[in-house]
Chains A and B, each alone.
Chain A
């Protein structure tokens, strides 16, 4: 498959701060590529460089073979972009925004009307097409933003945290549309997210970014398989926690866990679970809660960075 997005030693500094620190990415045509990382990891800075909105401090970016700095106009013709804060003028109606977006991309009035109607229908906004955007919910704005980014039928779609702040129903609707675009139209999708589930659901390949650097890159299934052992998470009363840690240390390497919880990679997997329970019993330690999870992207992230992805605890609970 052709490579449609390629970065070479991409760096972006803001004064002393290095937001993106030498990343190398390669995205194949027709893929959904997940760019996963916590807040402040450099995802949005990277996507702004890929979409010509920000110049790299050093390094190179090519989109469909065009350099994003020297051939920016050619890149902009090929890409659709929905940025993090649904950049929509609240004083305009969905129809007006569609028309504006169409003109910006050189689409004729009649074609814009046809495509705009189809797109609004597809994202479920036909009934709200003449309403001002200020009356839209967060989910409606996101769907309109997606429709706007598709008006010129881009071959590559960039979505910056498209579901942040959305309710589960809106989130799922957006996921379905992304899947449809990818499978039915063959659109390459570059998606940044801080949600593990989103990356797991949508992405054929992911890159994990942390502190501006790529920590891991690959196919989610393979990345998870490379984590040798499942994670054992144990909740224990604070008075016993130090002794419990000593017990757990004999079963595997410590893994990052949220506050008040202990976690290890359980060597030997589920077959050793009974042994762990016996060891706690023999030590006179009372266990409040115990769970064994198959390796997840969170484990991949934790293994790569030494900490859990922000918000994971809240997401799972």
Chain B
């Protein structure tokens, strides 16, 4: 009565299990598409309201484009990705509350596969709000000086941003096992997003906010995502963003995995 084992293990991670967890997450979205509405509408509404309210700001020199959509679209797309990342961990919290997570924990494979699968779902989900933002921005007259590579960079940035916030959220959900615990992540995410170059260039900021935005790692991420929309893609702007993504994903993964390992102890 031995089970036929066909797990493809890479450094202890079963890719087949990760893919199965990811597939389940996608199936859930397909079976309940209304789940996607908040994460698509929130950034789209933000884009419409920000561009409507601050449409004339880009006439001031320093924005890198005279079109407000070029400036705002990457910013709200990344905020939508944060939502998508946190949302992925909210599904895990729901699994704790229904008991389904026990079924995943009873898998004989590595638990990191469960973690990887959940992050994969969040990254995929993040593409929907980004797509929504890009479509609305294009309709609004986006210049897109960087062309298709700019869009590609934005999608990559969105997926990486979602994975960062999914990992940090999972670190909390694995510990507290409730959706309510995610309030902390949302608070941190939005606070840190507003203290960046999201709405105005850093040269326009003064006092402590200028200093915080300068050293806030999300500023580099925004530059990474925004570069193709403003002046074209350069390595000087790309590498700091990649380093932030790599470091944040690594730290998030360690914290999430530690919390996951502590479950049941």
Docked complex Cα distance between A87 and B103 (Å): 7
Are B99 and A77 in touch, CB under 8 angstroms? no
A242 at the interface (CB under 8 A from B): no
Task: Give chain A residues whose Cβ lies under 8 Å from the Cβ of B23.
Answer: 100
Docked complex Cα distance between A103 and B23 (Å): 11
A61 at the interface (CB under 8 A from B): no
Shortest Cβ gap from B105 to chain A (Å): 6
Are B27 and A108 in touch, CB under 8 angstroms? no
Are A73 and B109 in touch, CB under 8 angstroms? yes
Are B28 and A106 in touch, CB under 8 angstroms? no
A290 at the interface (CB under 8 A from B): no
B246 at the interface (CB under 8 A from A): no
B5 at the interface (CB under 8 A from A): yes
**Interface set, chain A 40-68, CB cutoff 8 A to B:** 48, 51-55
With A87-B102, A89-B28, A91-B31 as contacts: A104 and B3 at CB distance below 8 Å: no
Are A87 and B100 in touch, CB under 8 angstroms? yes
Docked complex Cα distance between A151 and B58 (Å): 61
- Mind listing 16 A-B residue pairs with CB under 8 Å? A51-B106, A52-B106, A52-B264, A54-B264, A76-B106, A85-B99, A87-B101, A89-B28, A91-B32, A92-B27, A100-B23, A106-B7, A107-B6, A152-B3, A153-B1, A153-B3
Docked complex Cα distance between A154 and B3 (Å): 8
Docked complex Cα distance between A108 and B20 (Å): 12
Docked complex Cα distance between A125 and B245 (Å): 47
A247 at the interface (CB under 8 A from B): no
A88 at the interface (CB under 8 A from B): yes
Chain A residue with the shortest CB-CB distance to B20: A103
Docked complex Cα distance between A107 and B134 (Å): 41
Task: Give chain A residues whose Cβ lies under 8 Å from the Cβ of B19.
Answer: 103
Interface residues on A, range: 35 or more
B265 at the interface (CB under 8 A from A): yes
Task: Give chain A residues whose Cβ lies under 8 Å from the Cβ of B27.
Answer: 91-92, 96
Task: Give chain A residues whose Cβ lies under 8 Å from the Cβ of B181.
Answer: none
Docked complex Cα distance between A141 and B14 (Å): 28
Are B99 and A55 in touch, CB under 8 angstroms? no
Docked complex Cα distance between A54 and B17 (Å): 22
A101 at the interface (CB under 8 A from B): yes
Task: Give chain B residues whose Cβ lies under 8 Å from the Cβ of A101.
Answer: 103
Are A106 and B5 in touch, CB under 8 angstroms? yes
Among B27, B100, B101, B103, find the residue whose CB has the most chain A CB atoms closer than 10 A: B103
With A91-B31, A106-B4, A111-B4 as contacts: A73 and B108 at CB distance below 8 Å: yes
Task: Give chain B residues whose Cβ lies under 8 Å from the Cβ of A92.
Answer: 24, 27-28, 31
Are B99 and A106 in touch, CB under 8 angstroms? no
Docked complex Cα distance between A71 and B103 (Å): 18
Chain A residue with the shortest CB-CB distance to B94: A89
B191 at the interface (CB under 8 A from A): no
Shortest Cβ gap from B9 to chain A (Å): 10
Are A81 and B106 in touch, CB under 8 angstroms? yes
B11 at the interface (CB under 8 A from A): no
Task: Give chain A residues whose Cβ lies under 8 Å from the Cβ of B103.
Answer: 87, 101, 104, 148
Among B31, B100, B106, B109, find the residue whose CB has the most chain A CB atoms closer than 10 A: B106
Which 3 pairs from chain A and chain B are nearest by CB? A87-B99, A103-B20, A104-B107
Chain A residue with the shortest CB-CB distance to B110: A73
Are A88 and B100 in touch, CB under 8 angstroms? yes
Shortest Cβ gap from B77 to chain A (Å): 27
With A104-B20, A107-B4 as contacts: A83 and B98 at CB distance below 8 Å: no
Chain B residue with the shortest CB-CB distance to A87: B99
With A106-B4, A106-B7, A153-B1 as contacts: A91 and B28 at CB distance below 8 Å: yes
Are A105 and B108 in touch, CB under 8 angstroms? yes
B104 at the interface (CB under 8 A from A): yes
Task: Give chain B residues whose Cβ lies under 8 Å from the Cβ of A154.
Answer: 1
A155 at the interface (CB under 8 A from B): yes
Are A77 and B28 in touch, CB under 8 angstroms? no
Are B1 and A155 in touch, CB under 8 angstroms? yes
Are B6 and A106 in touch, CB under 8 angstroms? yes
Docked complex Cα distance between A73 and B20 (Å): 18
Docked complex Cα distance between A116 and B105 (Å): 21
Shortest Cβ gap from A74 to chain B (Å): 8
Shortest Cβ gap from A259 to chain B (Å): 35
Are B108 and A76 in touch, CB under 8 angstroms? yes
Docked complex Cα distance between A54 and B16 (Å): 25
Per-residue contact bits, chain A 116-156, to B (CB 8 Å; 1 contact, 0 not):
00000000000000001000000000000000100011110
Q: Which one, B24, B99, B100, B107, contacts A105 given CB within 8 A?
A: B107
Q: Which one, B1, B17, B108, B264, contacts A53 given CB within 8 A?
A: B264
Docked complex Cα distance between A225 and B37 (Å): 65
Task: Give chain B residues whose Cβ lies under 8 Å from the Cβ of A86.
Answer: 99
Docked complex Cα distance between A74 and B108 (Å): 7
Shortest Cβ gap from A102 to chain B (Å): 9
**Interface set, chain B 1-42, CB cutoff 8 A to A:** 1, 3-7, 14, 16-17, 19-20, 23-24, 27-28, 31-32
Q: Which one, A48, A77, A89, contacts B3 given CB within 8 A?
A: A77
Shortest Cβ gap from A73 to chain B (Å): 5
Are B107 and A76 in touch, CB under 8 angstroms? yes
